[in-house]
Amino acid sequence: MVASHLPDAVQGPGPVDVVLNVNGATHVVRIEPRVSLLDCLRDHMNLTGAKKGCNQGACGACTVWVDKRRVVACLTLAIACEGREITTIEGLAENGILHPMQKAFLSEDAFQCGYCTPGQIMSAVALLAEGHAGSDAEIAEWMSGNICRCAAYPNIRTAIRDVRDGVGGVGSAAR
Amino acid sequence: MSTAIGRPVDRVDGLAKITGAGRYSAEIALPGLVHAVLVTSRIPSGRIGHLDTYDAERAEGVLAVLHHLNLPKGGSVPALLPSLFGAAASGQTFFPMQDEVIHYAGQPLAVVVADTLDRAEHAARLVHITYEHTPAITTIEQGRDRAYEAEKIFAGFIPGRITRGDAAAGLAEAAETVDLSYHLAANHHNPIECSATTAVWEGDRLTLYDSTQGPNATLHTVAELLNIMPSHIRVVTGYVGGSFGCKAMIWAHPALSALAARAVHRPVRLALSREQMFSGCGHREEQEMRIVLGADRDGRLTAIRHHKLSPTSHFDDWAEPSLSVASSMYACDNYEGVYRLIKANTMTPTFTRCPGEAAGMFVMETALDELAERLDLDPLEIRLRNYAETEPGTGNPWSSKGLRECYQRGAELARWSERDPRPGRERDGNWLLGWGMASSAYPVTPPGGPQRARARIFADGSAVVQSSFADFGTGSATVMTQVAADGLGLPLERVRVQYGDTDLPNTAAAVGSAGAGMVSAAVHVATTALRDQLIAQAVADERSPLHGADPGQITVTEGRMHLRERPDTGESYAELLQRANMTDAEALGTWNPPSMMGTGYGTMTFGAQFAQVAVDPELGLCRVRRLIGVFDPGRVLNRKTAHSQLMGGMLWGMSQALLEGTVMDPAGRWSNASLGEYLVPVNADAPDVLIETVETTDTVVNPLGVKGIGEVSMVGTAAAIANAIWHATGRRHHRLPITIESVL
Ligand code: FES
Ligand code: FES
């Protein structure tokens, strides 16, 4: 019914032009409306930093920010992100300077295979902004949407604490 | 002289991982790339009645629908052979889409190729298949009456029955026995990166970007399956998002991606979905074990009888070797181990982190705890009384063994001597607290053939070291950089390693915790050969300050060759090469490992683990509060990455104890084939883990004395936790995972 009143708003199912703001730049991609933000980034924009671990919202590997909030890109439609500000791991470093969270992940060895890592880092930076890093228990709880099968969890918590406490990037030696 | 080896160096591939720049196998951008999606069987046993591709072929963007009637037949399926041999390593001796017979749910029946992923996935749903069902067996319960004793398991390498001494006589003379039955659920690896291959043909040359533990295993397997020359295939494995064994053997998808790419004349990406990861690359089989331990009054074992029953596929007699390590952990003259199998409608099970050791040692280490309880012995004491000074069965000396030190240090860290041995004594509010411990052990197995690396130094004194191995999160690229720097006498930042490409010198798959040992050996041989070659050149060069010196008296520091005794006499590699008008110099290094058939030594990595748990008996909750592990891995190449790997293994052991299990539904399909329903630990499940290593020097296993750390730390964790649950609650658990329902 709505469609009959707004014929111009009907889009798809064929490819349509979608305008997306990703990491501060505007992109026009021609995609079907059913394409997820994750597939759009990875397959249509060649931004493969956001990872696909399940495509079902269960692992957090695809975590990106939409308007600064963390979302799972596999359950977000790209077309629904028009007019919003999308940030991916590729946009986290500024002018080639790593974000302190990236440095802390490296120095604390908060990953092994690295496949969950972009999602963990995007989650971890947002977590600090949300104010959910008060204690280790709170960090653990609010980071539990990001699975790390290599089980780097204790080191992920250490990295987040480092940044929270301004130790940023100063690695502990082997324990 | 070693300055880089052992240091807690940051990962050399770390920057690519924290910035998202590293490309995994499903992220290779190629012009004209199209997408393949598998259509898999919904039933576990039967035949395809009708496979209707009409709708799929006409769907938007579809380029091809391949199935058993139109898939070009190629070569033959290679024999089942562990990829540690370095040859073809098919995960099962069955290749799909050759006829209409269905052997297991999830078996690929068709491949749909389309220009975008969404279109390929949509068209895959338009392939309409009708089935003719035949009866299926997919669980132990359904197949119990058809069980048979295996002649051989594990690709023919392990006999189905292993005995020493006389187990029956040993049990008859025992003062105390325990006789326990266990059930362990099936497990799935679930690395966060699903398996994927991107295939590109250029004429009759094939390049595969494959997510694997062994690029050469992919090369040889695909060569045989497609009947093409190995020289015409190149496998590139840049970044791998974890494996844990599901990428150790080569399954159908790399060859299918190549066939699809040939059919559509375009580069093809074939990535398994998460659900397909449960029936596309093997699993750890469901297993039942029965263990009988007999001991004299002092707790010395008089006999071990350890039997296993598990389902395998219709094509292969595979069981993970659950009995092996448990059989050589303790001194005991009388032993009987038997593997029984059931032919089932599943794919062939495969290596899963600690294949066999984790399961078998859970049984051994919890049974030993019960025996200690009956004998009123401390759990640590019973282990010391049965300490194996030589390898049980062979009587061979150990190449190295630091287990006594591991026990001692672990007990100190856990304050074991302060523990009240009686169960159920300690409380924290609603929580019952308990401590448990267990031993860890994992065999050191050499690879099947020569391992190679090439070292090349340029006239400016920087070096590249090349070897084909893959780094799937183990840190091997980082430790190889360290080994190369020390071998050449260069600072770390002057050395780059290049790896993950079959065009580079050959190595076997990095499996069985053997990766660091074998690749470090090859890199060590190559880099020291190049160093010696340059020293020889200097000694022979009249214009060199080292002319005529004894090469044995020359060492290299920071890229400068000099006399050991008179460091000011010498010159840099750069000076030597530039003077000789050489842009570079290189050397190939080959390490010939000891025979897989035995070194005359028992070779194992050992450890001791201690766990504290808190159990809420009313809610059935079990939380692990502390995990402590002490291991004897031989030379540690990088303290930071080693720590991470050991920690990951222990958390895997925790997960084995409390979370992981795949369950068959009545229709013969895995019922919880998703990351929402197959439980793996999340951050809130993972306690802090305390890890230490004890110094052991091993001169047998490989040149640098590296015993391997990828798996040993998972062995024993689950048993330490189960023993701690007993200590907290007074209840024993013989089923894994230990769920809320079973704790209640
Ligand atoms: S890929 Fe999006 S949550 Fe797993
Ligand atoms: S680093 Fe491998 S999944 Fe987290």
Here the CATH number for the domain that contains residue B452 is: 3.30.365.10
Tokens 């200097």 locate to B538
* Residue A148 Cβ < 6 Å to ligand 2: yes
B475 phi/psi in degrees, rounded to 5 = 90, 10
**Closest Cβ opposite residue A151 in set B19, B639, B686:** B686
> Is there an atom of ligand 1 within 6 Å of A118 CB?
no
10-49 in chain A: CB under 8 A from chain B: 14, 32, 34-35, 39, 42-43, 46-49
CB contact under 8 A, B683 and A155: no
pTM for this entry: 0.96
Taking the C-alpha atoms of residue B685 and residue A141, their distance in angstroms, rounded to an integer, is: 9
Residue range B190-211: mean pLDDT, rounded: 98
Alpha-carbon B203 to chain mean position: 35
With a 6 A CB cut-off, is A91 part of the ligand 1 pocket?
no
Ligand closest in space to the Cα of B674? 1
Cα(B36) to centroid(ligand 2), Å: 26
On the question of pLDDT at B306 being above 70, the answer is yes
User: Mean pLDDT throughout A159-167?
Assistant: 95
Mean pLDDT, range B346-352, rounded to an integer? 97
Same domain, A87 and A126: no
A58 interface with B at CB cutoff 8 Å = yes
Of chain B, the percentage scoring pLDDT greater than 70 comes to 100
Q: Kindly state whether residues A63 and A121 are assigned to the same domain.
A: no
Q: Is the pLDDT of residue A8 over 80?
A: no
Query: Can you give the pLDDT at residue B512?
Result: 85
Q: Which domain holds residue B549?
A: 447-591
Percent above pLDDT 90 for chain B: 94
Indicate whether A165 pLDDT > 80.
Answer: yes
pLDDT at A1: 39
| A65 and A35 both lie in a single domain | yes
Last residue of a domain, one of A91, A114, A137: A91
How many other CB atoms are found less than 10 A from the CB of residue B704?
A: 21
DSSP string, B706-737: B---TTGGGTTHHHHHHHHHHHHHS----EES
Residues A86 and A104 in one domain: no
Q: Which residue of B has its CA nearest to A41?
A: B27
Report pLDDT for B630.
Answer: 98
Smallest CA–CA separation between A114 and chain B, in Å? 5
**Whole-number pLDDT of residue B275:** 98
Query: Averaged over B657-678, what is the pLDDT?
Result: 97
Q: What is the mean pLDDT of residues B580-607?
A: 93
| Tens digit of each residue's pLDDT (9 = 90 or more) over B417-466 | 999 999 999 999 999 999 999 999 999 998 989 999 999 999 999 999 99
- Residues B287, B310 contacting (CB under 8 angstroms): yes
Ligand 2 nearest-atom number relative to CA B191: 3
Q: Can you read off the two tokens belonging to residue B349?
A: 């099970």
Instruction: With a cut of 80, say whether residue B73 has pLDDT above it.
Output: no
Residue B74: which pLDDT band, with cuts at 50, 70 and 90? confident
Q: pLDDT tens-digit profile of B128-166?
A: 999 999 999 999 999 999 999 999 998 888 999 999 999
Separation CA B704–CA B642 (nearest Å) = 15
Per-residue pLDDT at B671 exceeds 50: yes
- State residue A44's pLDDT score: 96
β-strand B735-736 against B176-184: which pairing, if any? Answer: parallel
DSSP state of B466: E
Identify whether A75 is part of a domain.
yes
What is the predicted pLDDT for the residue at A9? 66
What does the mean pLDDT of chain B come to?
A: 96
pLDDT for the residue B173: 97
What average pLDDT does range A29-43 have in this prediction? 97
Q: Is the model's pLDDT at A3 over the cut of 80?
A: no
Q: How many domains does chain B have?
A: 1
Instruction: Give the ipTM.
Output: 0.97
Could you give the number of structural domains in chain A? 2
DSSP for B550-581, written as a single string: -GGGEEEETTEEEESS-TTSEEEHHHHHHHTT
Is B350 a member of any domain? no
- Strand B101-102, strand B128-133: pairing: unpaired
Give the model's confidence band at A174: pLDDT under 50 very low, under 70 low, under 90 confident, else very high: very low
Residue-wise DSSP of A23-85? TTEEEEEEE-TT-BHHHIIIIIS----S--S-SSSSS-TTEEEETTEEEEGGGSBGGGGTTSE
Domain that holds residue A149: 100-165
What does the pLDDT read at residue B85? Answer: 87
The reply to whether A57 and A76 lie within a common domain is yes
According to the model, what pLDDT value does residue B617 have? Answer: 93
Please give the Cα distance from B353 to B672 (Å, whole number): 20
Asked if B603 is an interface residue toward chain A (Cβ–Cβ < 8 A), one would say no
State mean pLDDT over B643-662. Answer: 98
Residue B465 maps to a domain: yes
Pick the atom of ligand 2 nearest to A150's CA: 2
Average pLDDT over residues B624-652: 97
Q: Does A95 touch chain B (CB under 8 A)?
A: no
Which among A91, A122, A157 is the end of a domain? A91
Bridge-based pairing of strands B554-557 and B495-498 is unpaired
Out of A60, A91, A122, pick the residue that ends a domain.
Answer: A91
